[in-house]
Every structure is written in C-alpha cells, then in structure tokens.
Chains A and B, each alone.
Chain A
C-alpha cells in the first residue's frame, strides 16, 4: 500500500509541476516578448512600462480576436484593425507622450516582420539542407 501511495504522490507532483509550467498559454510567450520589445524600443520609464503592459496585453488580445473574426474579409479586417489601433492609441497617449504613442504600432509591425523573417530564414535553411541532401 505504501508503494502505491508513493506512486500517487509522484504522479500528483508531476501533474502540479506540469500545470505550473503551462501557466504561460500557447501564443502568450510571443505576446510577452513583443511587449518587451515594444517597451524597449519605446524606451519607457518604469512607471510608463507598468501602465503600458496591461493595456498592450489587452490590445493584443483584441487584435488577435479581430483577426479571427474578420480574416476572411480583408477590407473589413483592415478597417477593424485601424479602428482598434486608433482607440488604443488614445489609451497609449494617456500613458506616454504622443510621440512615443504614435510609434507603438511601428515597433509592433517591426516585430511581426522580424518574426516573418525568422520563419523565412528557417524555411530557406530547410530547403538548402534538402537540396544538399539530394546532391
């Protein structure tokens, strides 16, 4: 009986550890890195960064939802993204000066483009490896 108890305790411990690891949901890691990137690029003060982070997370979530909802209609998607960004730009302006608030989306797009570049480079590497193998 003691043997079973030990097994159960180990199983439960593993489960709890796994649950803690999974606290960071899928896609949230990238969101957090993007937040970090934008903050760094904007050069926010500690106070500004504290206020900016929750607003940007909220923006990111709405952004993602908007993409999900309207990705099949590109014109509407464009309109909704613009509306969303205008709305959040107003919020960003309450946290930081206008010059910085205007550049939030520039750095966001920069980050997205760089991720795209990473994927492309990775794809190229795979293709090259395949070609070398075929030769």
Chain B
C-alpha cells in the first residue's frame, strides 16, 4: 500500500496521525556511541570522588584477634558443658534407652589369640574323592522298564482306540456272524397268524416259547447290562403302546 493511500485512509478516519510529519524523531548526535563508554566512566569517577563512598575508610573492618580460632571449639564446648541442663552422651542414652545402655560394648565375635597366625587346614590330597552317583543302577533299570512299559501301553491304547473307530463295521460283522439265517418264512406266517388272531404283545411275551427264545439269546449278557437296558425299556414301554 502506498504512503499516499495510508494518509488518505487516516484522513478519512479523522486520525491526527495524518498530520504527523514523516521524519525519524529518534536520533542521536553524530559520533554519540563512539565516545559513550569513556564519557560514562568519567562521569562515574567524578561522582565517586564527590560521594559518600569516597568518605568511607579503606581499611578491613571484618577481623578477629590473632589466635581467636585456635581454642574456639574447646571454648564453645566448655560453654555448653557449663550449662545447667547439659547431659553427656552416656547420660542421654541412659535416659532414652536403658536397654542399649545395658549392652556390653565388647565384640562378640572373637577368636583365640594368634588364631589366624596358626591357622592350618589339614588337606589330604592323596585320598581320592569318593564318587556317589545320583541314581543307583537298579533304580535306573526300573525307570527304563517303566518308561518302556508306558510307551508300549500308550501305543497299544492308541491302536485300540483307532481300532474302535469303525464301530459300525465291526458290529455289522459281529451281528452277521451271530444272526441265524432263516431259510423259510413259515415260522413268520405262523407267528403272524398267531398275532392276527388277536393275541397282544403282552400275551406273546408271557408265552413260554418267547421267554425261552429271549433267555437263550441273552444267557451270556450280564445282569447289570440287562438292568440298564431295562431302565430304558421301562420308560419306553410306559409311554408307548404299539399293540
């Protein structure tokens, strides 16, 4: 922005700055700073010569007599000891802690005189050191046997578990082996006729032939197994009526 524009703007604002002449008012005479230091020093010296400081004596006021500090500490202690409330360290300790005061000040760890001068350990370098094993040979044998047994048992168990996976196939083979193949259906026809004649399942179950058939099939089944199966059957027979 040009100076003319600034003055014009100041005039428009009604500022008194517009009438201020554009010249530097902060100026010093030529060569002012070249002689500044010497002129200030000369003025200070002139003031010292005529001031209160020039009237003070030049001698040192802070001094003590010769040998003042030689007996200073002892003198101060004497002053303290002469005080009526003064207690020695022993007296003060007795006052504060009688237990500590009662303790003996003698060293408790002591050795006979010339103990270390005559100290000598008898070392027998000739006798060889006995070597003691951490485990006996017998124990190691048992440990090895136990580990081997564990490995064999684990392997066997894994084989057994893997062998159990295709259960259905094994069951099928077992059932097929056990199932007696029926060559004709005459038996079925007789049974169907029997049932159709109006005999219900309860009557059939109670008949001696069926009882014998079932008992002969289950003769090698344990009683516990039968009881477990019976619990399930009882529930089912209670809720179901197929006949």
Q: What residues make up the interface of A, taking CB atoms closer than 8 Å to B?
A: 4, 8, 11-12, 15-16, 19, 22-33, 35-37, 39-46, 49-50, 53-54, 57, 63-64, 67, 71, 74-75, 77-78, 81-82, 99-100, 103, 105-106, 109-119, 122
Contacts and interface: CB of A to CB of B under 8 A. Distances in A.
B182 A12 contact: no
A112 B182 contact: no
A100 B191 CA distance: 11
Contacts of B148: 4, 8
A45 B242 CA distance: 25
A36 B178 contact: yes
Given A12-B152, A117-B205, A32 B175 contact: yes
Contacts of A45: 182, 185
Interface residues of B, number: 66
A106 B242 contact: yes
A112 B149 contact: no
A71 B215 contact: no
A37 B206 CA distance: 16
Interface residues of A: mostly helix, strand, loop or mixed? helix
A81 B239 contact: yes
A24 B230 contact: no
A114 B211 contact: yes
Interface of B: 141, 145, 148-149, 152-153, 156-157, 159-160, 163-164, 167-168, 170-172, 174-176, 178-182, 184-189, 191-192, 195, 201-202, 204-206, 210-211, 213-215, 217-218, 220-221, 223, 225-230, 232-240, 242-243
Contact of B171 (A8, A57, A106): A57
A29 B181 contact: no
Contacts of B225: 26-27, 29-30
A57 B226 contact: no
A41 B178 CA distance: 15
A119 to B, nearest CB: 5
Given A8-B149, A116-B234, A35 B179 contact: yes
B240 A35 contact: no
